[in-house]
Each structure stands twice: as C-alpha cells, then as structure tokens.
Structure 1
Amino acid sequence: MNQRKETIGFIGLGVMGESMARNLIAKGYQVYVFTRTKEKARRLIADGAIWSENPKEIAINTEIIITMVGYPKDVENVYFGDKGIYAGVKAGSIVIDMTTSTPSLAKKIYEEGKKRGVSALDAPVSGGDIGAEKGTLSIMVGGDQQTFIECKSLLFALGENIVYQGPCGAGQHTKMCNQIAIASNMVGVTEAFVYAKYAGLDPETVLKSISNGAAGSWSMSNLIPRVIKKDYSPGFFIKHFIKDMGIALEEAEKMSLRLPGLELAKELYDSLAKQGEENSGTQALMKYWDLSMEDGGIKER
C-alpha cells in the first residue's frame, strides 16, 4: 500500500479486535482506535495506538477504517450514527467491516459509501481468538475487486487465507457458509466427547486418535483441549454465535431453504444462553449435556 494508506482506524476492541489492532501496530501501521469503553483500549494505547472519542473522529483522522463490533445494530450505529463513520469520512477513504453481519447491511454500507466517494468491503473473519492473536485468520471479502487489491497487504497483516468472494455482501454470505459448517460440526464434536466420557474413556487419548483422522476439524483440535480442561472462556462468545446462526437462518428462509442441522445447533445454544452461558465460549456446548444429565437425562425434543 502507498504511504497515504498507512494510517488505520480500528473500531471495536473485543476478544478478537484487540489482537487484530495490535498486529497492525506490529506491522508498522499508525492505528487510531475507538471502543465503547476506553479502559479496553488501555493496553493498545500503551503499545502506541492513538485514542479517538468516537467513530466520526476516527474517520476524520484516517483513510482506511476497520470495524469489528458485536451485532448488526452496532455496525449500523458505528457507520450511520450522529457521530458515526459516515458523519466524518472523506472521499477516497476505504471502510472495511470485519464484523459478522447481514449481507443487506453490507450492501447498505457499500451504497452509502459510493454516494460519498468511499469504497467499502465486507470482510468477516474466521479463526477465533487464536487466529486473531497469531494473525492467521481466514478473511472472506466482498466488494469491488480493485478495492480488495488495494487492501490485500493490509489484510495480510491480519490473516493468512484472504479470498475475494465477489460483490458487496458476498463476504457476509461466505461467512454464513462458514458458520453453518461450524454449527453442525460443534454438535458432532461435542457429542463424540460426551460419548467418550460416558463410555469411560480418557478424553485426551481419544483426542489423539480421532483428531488427525477423518473426524478431525479445527473445532476438535482447538476447542476440545479447552473442554478437557473445563476452560469455557470465550474465544468466540455463544451470544455472538447465536446471532450468526440467526442471520444464516434468516438468509436461508429468504431462499426458501431449510437447514435442519443449523436449526438444531441454534436450539442447543439457545438453551445454554437461557441458562446463563451466553458469555461463555462456543466450546461450552459440552455444558448442555452436563446440565441435562443433572436434570435426569437428555429430554426428547
């Protein structure tokens, strides 16, 4: 990227966002940051990030703005609020939403940007807290291909598998494919280790046998070791996964498509959320069986 593109705005410093912003700083970018609670930015400021009071201020001071927030309503506010990005953005800037959000909102951001001479990419990611920390995320990109080409070196500061998917919204649709695959896989992976537990097997030994064979997956290799240690801290929040599954089901309905595996996975995670687990990591799906057994066994659906 050329010199004028080396100052980056980064909005949203959650479980993944903080590590992503830190990787940009480590690559030599000057990074302006904003998040709702300034305390969350303290470590990044110590590392050289520059604090901004709101997204509008970020947009005024930078020419590439990355957003990584929680929900579509947060994306909407960050871009279109009174002190949002589009209240201060300059013509020629690039906005990149890396939140998992709706394809329709990605299109709205793109169209509004076009009116202002601003280019927009929807570029959701996969890889969780581990991928964010290591800079190994998979990034699925929608928008104009020329804008994607301009931003490739920046995106490679955050991930390894960077793939252009097509026009605006295509990145978000691809992320839905990703989440659909993970949802059903999480049910299968967790059930395998519930079975191992009740069969009296050692879970670590089972993991050694099956994680490298046909049953292997990212979730098994990265999340089951946490389950074995009863570490349910969030690499990715259950509440955010429920949000993603809801978006996927809504989009599927628009296509007259039924996804029973995804429906089941969401039902299980909804059950956990109702029992206070919404801020746990997705690997806490194991608790569904633990809680059900405490209540006298898995009940018929």
Structure 2
Amino acid sequence: MIGMTRKIGFIGLGKMGRRMARVLLTKGFPLVVYDIRDEAVNEAVKLGAQKASSAKEVAEKSEVIMSSLPTPRDVEDVYLGKNGVLEGIKPGSVIIELSTIDPGTSIKIAQEAAKRGAHYLDCPVSGGPEHAEKGELTIFVGGDYEAFKSVEEILRVIGKNVNYIGKTGAGNIVKLTNNIMSLLNILVASEALVFGVKAGLDADALFNVLNTGAGRSYIFTACFPRVLEGDFRPHFSLDYAIKDLGIALDYAKKLKIPMPMVSLAHTLYQMASATGRGNDDFTAVICLLEELSGVKVRSKKTSSDT
C-alpha cells in the first residue's frame, strides 16, 4: 500500500480523533501524534505511534497531516498559530482537516498552505464514534483533486464512503448541510413523539408504527431507540449541535439567505443546554420538550426516573 510508506501526523485525539488514529495504527500506518492531553497521546503511543511535542513538530515529521478538532478557532490556532502546523510544514505535504468548521477557515488555511507549497483538503466526517471505531465514516472532501487522489487510500481506511465534492470549502458546506438536516430532523421527531405520547399513545407502539411510515428517517431509526431507553450518553453532544448550527447560521448571513427553521432549532438546542444537558447526547433536546409538555417519551420497560 502506497499510503503506508508515507509518514502521517495526527493532531487531536478526542472522541473521534483517537478512534480514527487507532484504525490507522492497526492497519499499519506510521503515525506521529499530538494532543494537548498527555493521556490521549500516551494511549496512541502504546499502539505504536510516535509522540510529538507540538503541531509544528508533527508537520516537520510528516508528509500527510490529519487533524480532528472541536471548533474553527482550534483549527486556526493549530495551523496558523505559534508552533502551528504551517511553521513546520514541508513543500508537497497534504493536510487532511477532518473537523466540522466553516468554509472561510478552510479557505484561509488553504491559501497559507499553498504559499508553502502544501495542499489543504477539508474532509469533515459524518458518523459517530461507533463508525469511527470501525473505519466506516462518511467523508466529504473539498480541495485540489490531485491532492485528494494522492491521499484517497488513507481516507478509505477511516471512511466507508469517501466523496470528492469540489473546490476548497465544498466538503465543509456539505457537512453543514448534512448536520442541518440531521439536527432539525431530531427536533421534528421529538416534537411529534411528545405530541403522540401526550395524547395518550404508548411510546413503544408509536415508535414502532412510525418507523414503518413515510415520516421515518435514518436518524429516527438509529437514535430514538436510545431515547425510549432514556439513554442520553453522548455520541454527539448537544453543545456540539449548538456549535454546528451556529457555524451554519454565520455562513448563511454571509450568503444573505434567511434560515428561520435553523434559527429556531439553534435556540431550542441552546435552551436544552441551559437546563444542564449540554454534555448529553443531542437527542436530549427532547427532554426540554418533555418538560414543557409534562410527559416523558419512554419505553414501559424503562425506569420512570430517567
């Protein structure tokens, strides 16, 4: 495999990043890793990774630099800040940026990378930790096509569906569009289930019949069994939902397009977070609607105190 002959750097070993790094390591790819948390780095080192002391050092020791980070500001700091990637990057290197960020940040970093003879690809991923663990993510790629082809083999190790979209920022736009659909889908389904249960229907029976109807969706089928069980352990946190919708709204302002439903959804997720559920799964937004309606959408098999 060509990719195994190239030294890969990986920055950001959080919930998603450490799983992607682990998949690469188990497939035999040599990694240099960096994270602000020593315990995350040490976990990767035990699997065979080499430790770096900064993002700059990662770039100095790598031909391909991958990153998975929480916010656009974190991405900008890692690439453009002091001891950042672009201080150590070599001509011909390829950046694979996997975070959910705005297109403007990607374009800014891509332009600076190009000045140093390097390529930048925005490659945000879709799918939770369970998909990252199995190397079954969906990846949306924006940037130079030849640069994409040069690292496609690496992307296909962590992604089951790898989609080249177009110019720099195109991957970010698709990811934001995907998250708008997913996050609003959860809200609509939550409101509908609260309505049905408040009207006297059994939550299990309602879910089962809706799951055969025209209103069902992948996210309804995948997420709401956990809601019925009262399981709000974070696969994708409510506060990350707020972050992503905020990015989408900021970009919509630049495009001068109204997004009234996204604005309302953003507010509802913020209200749910304000009740202390920000670190819970984003499906916990249903708890806000339940509290306002005086009902809980839970399976009869689930304890009444969830």
Q: After TM superposition, is the score higher than 0.5?
A: yes
TM-score, length-scaled by structure 1: 0.92
Query: C-alpha deviations, 1:209-243, integer Å up to 9, x for none?
Result: 32344222232122212212212121112222111
Change in CA separation of 1:87 and 1:4 when aligned onto 2, cut-off 3 Å: farther
Q: How many residues align?
A: 295
Superposition pairs of residues 157-236 of structure 1, within 5 angstroms:
157-236=157-236
Matched, 1:64 2:59: no
2:250 and 2:214 map into 1 onto residues whose CA distance is: 31
2:209 and 2:31 map into 1 onto residues whose CA distance is: 44
Query: C-alpha deviations, 1:4-35, integer Å up to 9, x for none?
Result: 75321111112211111111112211122211
Gap regions ≥5 residues in structure 2:
296-306
Change in CA separation of 1:208 and 1:134 when aligned onto 2, cut-off 3 Å: farther
Bigger drift between 253-262 and 214-223 goes to: 214-223
Aligned to 1:47: 47
Q: For the Cα contact (< 8 Å) 2:113–2:119, is it kept in 1? A: yes
TM-score, length-scaled by structure 2: 0.90
Bigger drift between 167-176 and 286-295 goes to: 286-295
1:70 and 1:271 map into 2 onto residues whose CA distance is: 21
Query: C-alpha deviations, 1:64-121, integer Å up to 9, x for none?
Result: 1111000011001110111110111111111111111111110011111110010110
2:5 and 2:233 map into 1 onto residues whose CA distance is: 36
2:193 and 2:49 map into 1 onto residues whose CA distance is: 42
1:281 and 1:101 map into 2 onto residues whose CA distance is: 20
Superposition pairs of residues 110-129 of structure 1, within 5 angstroms:
110-129=110-129
Matched, 1:104 2:92: no
Query: C-alpha deviations, 1:154-174, integer Å up to 9, x for none?
Result: 111111111111111111111
Aligned to 1:8: 8
2:50 and 2:229 map into 1 onto residues whose CA distance is: 37
Change in CA separation of 1:197 and 1:43 when aligned onto 2, cut-off 3 Å: farther
Cα RMSD for the two superposed structures: 1.9
2:10 and 2:3 map into 1 onto residues whose CA distance is: 18
Bigger drift between 200-209 and 219-228 goes to: 200-209
2:66 and 2:202 map into 1 onto residues whose CA distance is: 44
2:280 and 2:5 map into 1 onto residues whose CA distance is: 37
Give structure 1 regions of 4+ aligned residues with deviation exceeding 4 angstroms: none
Matched, 1:25 2:38: no
Secondary structure of the residue that 2:89 maps to in structure 1? coil
1:153 and 1:93 map into 2 onto residues whose CA distance is: 15
1:97 and 1:188 map into 2 onto residues whose CA distance is: 31
1:27 and 1:216 map into 2 onto residues whose CA distance is: 37
* Identical-pair percentage: 37
Secondary structure of the residue that 1:157 maps to in structure 2? helix
Aligned to 1:240: 240
Gap regions ≥5 residues in structure 1:
296-301
Secondary structure of the residue that 2:157 maps to in structure 1? coil
- What is the Cα deviation at residue 195 of structure 1? 2.7
Change in CA separation of 1:26 and 1:236 when aligned onto 2, cut-off 3 Å: same
Aligned to 2:141: 141
